[in-house]
Structure formats: C-alpha cells, structure tokens
Amino acid sequence: MKPLKNNDIRRILVRSTNWIGDAVMTTPALGALRAHFPNATISVVANPLVAELFRHHPYCDEVLVFDKKGAHQGWRGMLRFCGQLRQGRFDLAILLQNAIEAGIMAALAGIPRRAGFRTDGRGFLLSHAVPISEADKKLHHTRYYLTMLERLGISGGDGLLRLESTAEESAWAESTLGDGEWMAINPGAAYGSAKRWIPERFAAVGDQLAREFGVKVLLTGGPGEREIGRDIARAMTCGPLNLIGETSVRQMMALLSRCRLMVTNDSGPMHVAAAFAVPIVAVFGPTDHTTTSPLAETCRIIRKHCDCAPCLLRECPLDHRCMTAISADDVLEGARSLLNKTR
C-alpha cells in the first residue's frame, strides 16, 4: 500500500456506513480524521436516515445525501450523484462503507486518493487499499474503523462516540417529556426479528422499574416497530409514553439524551444512547457483543450462552433460544445495578 501524503489534502469525502448503529460507531474515526486534518473540509455521504446523525456534527462540515431508493436509484442515479461529487473537487475519499459500491462512487467522482479496507473485491478501485485480516474483522467496530485510519497514518481524537443535538432539539425534548426522570425501552431492531427480545418481558421490566425507582417509561423505535410498541404499551400498567415510529432520527437523539437509563436490544438507538453517555442495559442474542456492544462506561450486557450463538442471522431458524433464555429478572438485575449506581 502506498503511503498517504497528506500535506495538500484540503477537501475530504467520507462514505458512511448504511446502518444507524454502525454510523455512530464510526464517529471516533471521524474524530481522528478531524484532528489529523484540522483545516480540511470534511463532507459525509450517507443515506437519508444516517445523514440525520451528521447534521450539526462537529466532525462534519457538509452532509451529502445519497438516496439509492429515490433520486439516485439505478446506474443513472449513481452517475448523476457522482457528477455532483466531481464538482466538489475532493482530494481524498475515506471509505468507511465496506462495499464495492463505495469504491465505484469514489472512482467515478474522480477523487485521486481513494482509501479503504480491501473488501468486496474493490482493491483495484482504491489508490490506498488497506489490507484486512481475519483478526481485523473480529475487532470492535469502533476499533475496526480506527485501525483502517491508523494504517493510513491518520490518528488523533479522543476515541469516543459523539453525537450532538441542537439547543432547539433539546428544548423540544424537554417540552415533550416534561418533569421527572425517564428511562427508554427500545424493543425493536431494524436488522431483523432475531435480535428482538420478548415484548412482554420488556413491559414487565418497565413496570417494575417504574414502581421501584419512580422513573417514567419512554418507548422508542422506528416506523416498522409500531406494532411492537402497541403490544408493550397495552401490557404495561405504568402508562408509558409510546413514541415508536413517531419521531425523526434527530428527535430520537434529543429524547434519549434526556434519559437516565436505556433498556434495549442490540440496535441503532442503543449506540445513539451510548454517544450521549446514557447508562445502558443491552440484550444480546444472535449478534456478537464483542464487536457491536455499546461503547459506554455504564453498561450491562445481558446474554445467555447458546451453542448456536452468535449466528448473525436476521431471523432465527430454530426456537429463538438465545433470547427466550433471558428472563425479565436477568434484565432487572442489570438495570437495578445501574440505577442504584447513578442514583
């Protein structure tokens, strides 16, 4: 791999990952990029959902929305978007997305220095193809992205997750939640049903913590999880505020930043909460907690050993034993330890 000469880099394009949680875990890498190139302009390319994370972000000067399901659909849409990127005259592309599509985009945009892991057969498209080993693939995702930059000679930053809400967004969250202390329950997971713990057990945990600690319960999640939210709200006696499917990404960020605790599946909102230093109880089943656990000082991972886990499947082909083995008491034990610690 050729060394990356960075004395004349003024405009940097970063191709973000496509999932909320993964994108949050790239923020330490973005921080390193900002620290290493303090005078450069950093533009982030992301899909419409992920793009919301990087609006009003200190590591990002510009957000470019790549909507492959809408305005940039198909090859014509891709070519049109790459034509727009050409006008930006970028000096360097950092490809955090592992797909060959990111390499094609950077090449068609005419960016002379294109750097990323040599994955998905895209090495020939990169001017700086970073070798990747099996050990690299087992790194925690935050370390995975930082490792790529370090091999390019890029370092710096504090290594922490970072998201920010505006004053207006924070004020909206304050008015929406009102007085009192809140805990969030995030029962969904966009990746697939295998990552979702049992709704009735989420409800039992919420009710018990409301009784013991006097916290109010906020239900968070995306539009595809509304039915789960309704089931949990009906099963609860404490009267939760069910905002599943009712908020934007940025509104969700502001709401979570106000919470004293989050109980959640392995999901995008889990990492959002971690970026705001919210204590987290995370239920893990089919996914690998060693690579995608929340980067948070106050966190409890709840999981049970199963021979078939982690399988990384979207849907369980068996009996969902990795999740059904986790009881409400298991989660309550973790939640109580955090709430007592932060009381």
Q: What is the pLDDT of residues 170-200, one digit of tens each?
A: 999 999 999 999 999 999 766 666 677 889 9
Instruction: Average the pLDDT over 235-261 and give the result.
Output: 97
Answer whether residue 308 shows pLDDT above 90.
Answer: no
Report the chain's terminal Cα–Cα distance, integer Å.
Answer: 52
DSSP lists the bridge partners of residue 46 as: 65
**270 touches 188 (CB < 8 A):** no
CA 16 centroid distance within chain: 11
Q: 3-class DSSP state for residue 17?
A: coil
Least confident among 121-125, 222-226, 257-261: 222-226
Whether 297 shows a pLDDT value over 90: the answer reads no
Asked if residue 240 has a cis previous peptide bond (ω within 30° of 0), the answer is no
Which pLDDT does position 82 carry in this prediction? 98
The torsion defined by the Cα of 88, 93, 99 and 103, in degrees rounded to 10, comes to: 70
Between 286 and 283, whose confidence is greater?
Answer: 283
Hey, what long-range contacts does 246-253 have (CB within 8 A, 24 or more apart)?
247/220, 248/52, 249/20, 249/49, 249/52, 249/53, 250/52, 250/55, 250/165, 250/169, 251/169, 251/172, 251/173, 252/220, 253/53, 253/163, 253/165, 253/169
CB atoms within 10 A of CB 153: 12
Would you state the pLDDT for residue 288?
83
Q: Hey, which bits of 157-285 come out as E strands?
A: 182-186, 216-219, 241-242, 261-265, 280-283
Sign of the Cα pseudo-torsion (278, 337, 207, 233, in order):
positive
Which of these, 308, 184, 299, lies nearest to 241 by C-alpha position?
184
User: What per-residue confidence (pLDDT) applies to 31?
Assistant: 98
Task: Name which of 95-109, 178-192, 203-217 the model is least confident about.
Answer: 178-192
Q: Which amino acid is residue 101, in one-letter code?
A: E
Which of the given ranges, 21-30, 287-296, 298-307, 324-333, has the highest pLDDT on average?
A: 21-30
Q: Tell me what pLDDT residue 29 has.
A: 98
Where residue 305 falls among pLDDT bands split at 50, 70, 90?
confident
Find out whether 322 and 304 touch, Cβ atoms under 8 Å.
yes
Report whether pLDDT(113) > 80: yes
To which residue do tokens 């892991």 refer?
117
Q: What is the pTM assigned to this prediction?
A: 0.94
- pLDDT of res. 146: 98
Question: Do 1 and 131 touch, CB atoms closer than 8 A?
Answer: yes
The residues, ordered by sequence, that sit 6+ positions from 313 with a Cβ below 8 Å of its Cβ are 192, 194, 286
Taking the C-alpha atoms of residue 193 and residue 315, their distance in angstroms, rounded to an integer, is 5
Give the separation between CA 3 and CA 81, rounded to whole angstroms.
Answer: 29
The pLDDT, as a whole number, for residue 7 is: 74
Backbone angles phi, psi at 14, to 5 degrees: -115, 120
Q: Which residue has the higher pLDDT, 286 or 28?
A: 28
**Range 112-132 average pLDDT:** 97
> Three-state DSSP class for 198?
coil
Rounded to an integer, what distance in angstroms lies between the CA atom of residue 100 and that of residue 189?
A: 26
Q: Quick one: average pLDDT of 22-38? A: 97
Picking from 207-216, 239-248, 276-285, 301-310, which range would have the lowest pLDDT averaged per residue?
A: 301-310
Average pLDDT over the chain reads 93
The angle at the Cα of 143, spanning 140 to 149, to the nearest 5 degrees, equals: 145
- How far is it, in rounded angstroms, from Cα 147 to Cα 136? 8
Q: Alpha-carbon distance 14 to 28, whole Å?
A: 13
Domains of the chain, earliest start first = 11-151 (3.40.50.2000), 167-341 (3.40.50.2000)
- pLDDT recorded at residue 318: 73
What confidence score (pLDDT) does residue 319 get?
Answer: 65
